[in-house]
């Protein structure tokens, strides 16, 4: 009888265990699911924060890059009053955007405040040159140099006009004055080379073109111009010997 009672008790206990086992398994499974969901959510939030941080860094770099042209422009005007520099930068930006009227208006605004601001006369000259008003441009560049005899752009502007008028020797002198002050612009040396070509000084032209190629090493055109000038120099020397 006792053995039968023990068997019945064990059976009841086994039945109760089986009855509650799915609930226990479900609870454990639910806990594991909740843990992985929480962990996944944590990882996703962390990645989002990292992505947002990277985006902020990229935006900051882009903002700094946008400021670079403005800073480079301002370096041209070191030593001038800040209020003039700001207006000159606006005028330069307008000229670069081909907004000639705005560039001219800003330059005239500066001249009305400071008649000795040669940089403003340079802008007026560049605007006039772009419009094909070469005599007005010439007078503006000369006025700029009266205010400041070290304005390379004014010399270059005059040289451009002289070259256009085929006054090669005059343009050479003016180009040389420009590059003596500012040696960083390859296009100025190219213009000087073209002026030398106009008076058949091919060796000097080649040297000027090579100087431009040395500054802008990626520009194939400058190397080709130097090669062309050297070829003409050799041909010219051959003809001279034959005479």
> Residue 105 sits in which domain range?
61-149
Which residue is it, tokens 């006025």? 143
In a domain, 229, yes or no: no
In a domain, 18, yes or no: no
In a domain, 209, yes or no: no
- The full DSSP string for 118-169 is HHHHHHHHHHHHHTT-HHHHHHHHHHHHHH-TT-HHHHHHHHHHHHHTT-HH
In a domain, 74, yes or no: yes
Q: How many domains does the chain have?
A: 1
The pLDDT, as a whole number, for residue 77 is 83
How distant is the alpha carbon of residue 172 from its chain centre? 30
Q: Decide: pTM greater than 0.85.
A: no
In a domain, 2, yes or no: no
d(CA 212, CA 232): 19
In a domain, 72, yes or no: yes
142 φ, ψ to 5°?
-65, -40
Q: Indicate the burial class of 12 (C-beta count within 10 angstroms; 0-12, 13-18, 19 or more).
A: exposed
In a domain, 104, yes or no: yes
Say which CATH number the domain at 92 has: 1.25.40.10
Instruction: Walk along the chain (243 residues) in steps of 10 and give the mean pLDDT of each run.
Output: 57 52 49 56 63 62 45 67 90 95 95 94 97 96 96 97 95 97 95 96 95 94 93 78 61
The pLDDT, as a whole number, for residue 80 is 85
- 64 Cβ partners below 8 Å, 6+ apart? none
Q: Show the tokens assigned to 239.
A: 């003809």
In a domain, 91, yes or no: yes
């Amino acid at each position: 009888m006792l053995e039968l009672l023990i068997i019945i008790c064990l059976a009841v206990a086994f039945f109760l265990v089986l009855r509650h086992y799915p609930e226990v398994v479900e609870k454990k499974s639910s806990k594991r699911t909740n843990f992985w969901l929480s962990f996944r959510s944590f990882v996703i939030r962390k990645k989002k924060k990292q992505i947002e941080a990277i985006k902020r860094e990229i935006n900051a770099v882009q903002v700094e890059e946008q400021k670079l042209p403005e800073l480079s422009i301002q370096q041209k005007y070191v030593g001038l009053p800040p209020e003039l520099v700001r207006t000159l930068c606006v005028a330069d930006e307008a000229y670069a955007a081909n907004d000639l009227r705005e560039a001219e208006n800003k330059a005239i605004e500066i001249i009305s405040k400071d008649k000795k601001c040669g940089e403003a006369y340079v802008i007026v000259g560049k605007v006039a040159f772009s419009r094909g008003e070469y005599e007005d441009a010439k007078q503006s560049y000369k006025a700029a140099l009266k205010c400041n005899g070290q304005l390379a752009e004014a010399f270059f502007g005059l040289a451009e006009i002289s070259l256009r008028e085929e006054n090669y020797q005059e343009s050479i002198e003016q180009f040389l004055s420009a590059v003596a002050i500012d040696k960083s612009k390859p296009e100025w040396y190219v213009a000087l080379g073209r002026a030398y070509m106009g008076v058949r000084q091919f060796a000097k032209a080649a040297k000027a073109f090579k100087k431009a190629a040395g500054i802008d090493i990626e520009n194939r055109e400058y190397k080709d111009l130097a090669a062309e000038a050297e070829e003409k120099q050799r041909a010219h020397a051959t003809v001279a010997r034959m005479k």
